[in-house]
Amino acid sequence: MPELCRFQGVIIQMYFEDIKRHHKPHIHVIYNKYKATIAIDGELLGGSLPVKEMRRVLAWIILREDELYAAWNKAVRKEKFGKIKP
């Protein structure tokens, strides 16, 4: 799964063609032993994160929303997308 971004121990990834299970644009977040799937609109779709990291990821999503939607649109078309700044 391609990595979109990495900051302060948080790894953010996006699958290609990942629309069957969650049916909305989302990212996968890994932090230590925690994993979460978070929609680009901020909805927690699965898993969990510590509160501090969840807030950090949600703030990042707000700052990078346009870039995330652009990456999502490329991913569902099986096109490569670049990394997004922390």
pLDDT in tens, 25-62: 999 999 999 999 999 999 999 999 999 999 999 999 99
pLDDT grade for 20, boundaries at 50, 70 and 90: low
Tell me whether residue 67 is in a domain.
yes
Q: What is the pLDDT of residues 53-68, one digit of tens each?
A: 999 999 999 999 999 9
Do the beta carbons of residue 14 and residue 80 sit within 8 Å?
Answer: no
Across 13-35, average pLDDT? 85
The CA distance from 36 to 12, in Å, is: 10
* Residue type for position 60: W
Tell me whether residue 83 is in a domain.
no
Tell me whether residue 85 is in a domain.
no
Tell me whether residue 13 is in a domain.
yes
Domain around 20? 3-76
pLDDT at position 77 is 87
Q: pTM for the whole thing?
A: 0.91
How many domains is the chain built from? Answer: 1
Tell me whether residue 84 is in a domain.
no
Do the beta carbons of residue 16 and residue 2 sit within 8 Å?
Answer: yes
Tell me whether residue 45 is in a domain.
yes
